[in-house]
Structure 1
């Protein structure tokens, strides 16, 4: 947590000192960071004036699984077979593209799939002060728009501007923190799909591949179809409950608790003194599950006053298309949980994981 009197951060080129970001404050890395929708253009990953840090190795260079071996992969946080293992830097910093400053594209490194750049050739943004390659712009289809700063090429400084209060558990109670599962055009939210994939992987490991019973309401309605697909049916099921700041765990305590991640640290919430299994959720998704929000029970009539914009509720998706778990988010999370080494859990990686022999 930031102490009283703390200032916003700014990142500068390690070579010449040119500031390459606007003043920003740190938040938790979004769970959907590496998981978007294929062949779709996405908005910015980060909110304006924020940044996050990816503690895991990420980006190029990549090495094939069969070249790396299980022991080296485990040292890089990968515990199950994947197509390739990142040997990129740890602790890369991600910001919204609009918060970058004094950076210019390196034309020969602007490769991408079809609609933008994807960083396959390494850092593609250079400091305008000295020409040092310090960051990577990513905005191709299927990727959340972002600028990734290389940790060895930038330094963090105080901006001198006072920082706002850091996000805390109390922020989860704000109405604007909730993330609805449906986009305005009626499609399922890509953020929800990724959050479900990540949570499902944790649930598989926490339950040891046992069937579960979900709490009635939004959790069962939204998560139920995906859970039924990935976890086997039959008794005796594990009980799952919803808990978090202001939401006491049911009594007796369920076998597994669905809890939010802290909006600043990313750590899962826990009841005081509790050491039982928990499944961390995207805090905005958790906030919606706890308090879905108001829906007017009465139709509105008449004309809107001048200057008032419409605020319609998004139409729900067709009932035959339940909320899907993002396949890659599920698999990428599962292989990063040490519990996947349990032979009883390997079936998930084999049955639902990406084909290690063919997936680039």
Structure 2
């Protein structure tokens, strides 16, 4: 575990926290409403890419300089902040005060004016708190303003970390989960790159409901198609040595979980191309929750309403899809660049 301290006076700025992988929805949005913290209490993540102000427009950067910074297709603006910003849940911070004149936004702060948190001991700018409507609540410490100190603390839960609870795709209020929209949007970029521009064959059900609409709008139809299937730990039981080889062919592309602690991508052993997906979303797809076995006694009637359901088709987070796609070198291939340009111009969804 670690605590973060001010790089100027070494005042403590956080409780002890354990590192986890940067979640797919760290930079996502969730509609005109208030969202919970992006991270669970007691954890932190590091963004390997530059994020936050200052920004420079694409016209002022140029394709060559952008490619040197890992961006291969036009984007509205590119961050020129140092990489390595540190993400925490707001409740895990200590010893900070707000800078009121930088608390912009609609209902609270959205971080557009730069760091709005200062060290309470010395006044040094240390990070940005974001808690505006339609934003996930977060605190981002600047990498050059804080230092990480190791501390003793409780170990991680038992196990290898791959087993996580599945996240339902629909929230109790009846709308699609913002975390699902972010995870699917990010994974769609890698799935498009893995397709090679050829048709994809997805299994029927929730996977097609969440991925299929966008793919059908940008990829050709017909056969032969590359087969997509889920793969990952615990999904397929081991075959006894004496058992015959399964007649089911391996998929061409495997949707696999990304490790929630390290961000490592689970690697299939059958030669299929792995495409990573948020572990909680993958778990729900791989191991859907069974219907409740509860049955009312004969003669008992209830008028409880049925669970709410979304009133529209699932749409992935467009911004995160384009963000990831622009950072894949494959997007420079003409067929994928055409898809990127179409999506960027408000294409099929």
Per the TM alignment, residue 49 of structure 1 is displaced from its structure 2 partner at its CA by 0.5
Alignment of 1:1-360 (within 5 A): 8-112=1-105, 114-165=106-157, 168-172=160-164, 177-248=165-236, 251-272=248-269, 276-296=272-292, 299-300=295-296, 314-318=307-311, 321-353=312-344
Q: Deviations over 1:97-132 (max 9, x none)?
A: 0001010001122222x1111111211100011000
Q: Give the secondary-structure state (helix, strand or coil) at the position aligned to 1:171.
A: coil
8 Å Cα contact 2:210-2:315 kept in structure 1: no
Provide closer, same or farther for how the CA distance between residues 155 and 69 of structure 1 changes in structure 2, counting only shifts above 3 A. same
Q: Give the secondary-structure state (helix, strand or coil) at the position aligned to 1:161.
A: coil
TM-score (norm 2): 0.89
Of the structure 1 ranges 27-36 and 245-254, higher mean CA displacement relative to structure 2 is found in: 245-254
Q: Give the secondary-structure state (helix, strand or coil) at the position aligned to 1:160.
A: coil
Provide closer, same or farther for how the CA distance between residues 85 and 287 of structure 1 changes in structure 2, counting only shifts above 3 A. same
TM-score (norm 1): 0.87
Q: Deviations over 1:54-101 (max 9, x none)?
A: 000100000011111112212222111011111012010000000010
Q: Give the secondary-structure state (helix, strand or coil) at the position aligned to 1:11.
A: strand
Provide closer, same or farther for how the CA distance between residues 29 and 312 of structure 1 changes in structure 2, counting only shifts above 3 A. farther
Q: Give the secondary-structure state (helix, strand or coil) at the position aligned to 1:199.
A: helix
Provide closer, same or farther for how the CA distance between residues 77 and 125 of structure 1 changes in structure 2, counting only shifts above 3 A. same
Query: Which residues of structure 2 form unaligned runs of 5+?
Result: 238-245, 299-303
Report the Cα distance in structure 2 between the residues aligned to 1:354 and 1:151, rounded to whole angstroms.
Answer: 35
Q: Give the secondary-structure state (helix, strand or coil) at the position aligned to 1:108.
A: helix
Provide closer, same or farther for how the CA distance between residues 223 and 118 of structure 1 changes in structure 2, counting only shifts above 3 A. same
8 Å Cα contact 2:4-2:146 kept in structure 1: yes
8 Å Cα contact 2:166-2:283 kept in structure 1: yes
Q: Give the secondary-structure state (helix, strand or coil) at the position aligned to 2:152.
A: strand
Q: Give the secondary-structure state (helix, strand or coil) at the position aligned to 2:126.
A: strand
Partner residue, 1:358: none
Q: Give the secondary-structure state (helix, strand or coil) at the position aligned to 1:98.
A: helix
Provide closer, same or farther for how the CA distance between residues 283 and 313 of structure 1 changes in structure 2, counting only shifts above 3 A. farther
8 Å Cα contact 2:34-2:133 kept in structure 1: yes
Report the Cα distance in structure 1 between the residues aligned to 2:71 and 2:82, rounded to whole angstroms.
Answer: 15
Q: Give the secondary-structure state (helix, strand or coil) at the position aligned to 2:250.
A: coil
Number of matched pairs: 332
Q: Give the secondary-structure state (helix, strand or coil) at the position aligned to 2:338.
A: helix
8 Å Cα contact 2:89-2:139 kept in structure 1: yes
